[in-house]
């Protein structure tokens, strides 16, 4: 599962050939979640509100890049790193 970004202890990854809808995976300490790229809804798992807020802010800034990486992953191509939240 390629890591595409990391910030404030939050790790963002994507799987190759993952199921729809387009989403990314988040790990923060012992918390895990799948977040939809289209509307940033939590599809699975749970994050504390502070972590979810940071992830949502980051995803909103990089939504086009996330969708591009989703398409790359579907094609088994190398994923591109996405700037972390600063």
Q: Is 22 exposed, middle or buried (0-12, 13-18, 19+ CB in 10 A)?
A: middle
Range of the domain at 67: 3-74
Per residue in 53-75, pLDDT (tens digit) is: 999 999 999 999 999 999 999 99
- The mean predicted confidence, pLDDT, of the chain is 96
Does 84 reside within a domain?
Answer: no
- Confidence band for 84, pLDDT divided at 50, 70 and 90: very high
Does 80 reside within a domain?
Answer: no
| pLDDT reported for residue 29 | 96
Does 37 reside within a domain?
Answer: yes
Does 18 reside within a domain?
Answer: yes
The pLDDT of 19-43, averaged and rounded, is 97
Per residue in 16-30, pLDDT (tens digit) is: 988 899 999 999 999
Is the pLDDT confidence value at 1 over 90?
Answer: no
The total domain count for the chain is: 1
pTM: 0.94
Does 82 reside within a domain?
Answer: no
- Contacts of residue 12, defined as CB under 8 A and 6 or more positions apart, other chains included, come to 3, 4, 5, 6, 24, 25, 26, 55, 58, 82
Does 64 reside within a domain?
Answer: yes
């Amino acid at each position: 599962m390629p890591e595409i970004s990391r910030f404030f202890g939050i790790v963002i990854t994507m799987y190759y050939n993952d199921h729809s809808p387009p989403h990314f995976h988040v790990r923060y300490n012992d918390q895990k979640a799948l977040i939809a790229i289209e509307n940033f809804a939590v599809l699975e798992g749970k994050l504390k509100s502070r972590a979810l807020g940071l992830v949502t802010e980051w995803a909103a800034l990089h939504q086009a890049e996330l969708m591009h990486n989703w398409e790359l992953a579907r094609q088994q191509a190398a994923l591109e790193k996405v700037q972390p939240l600063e």
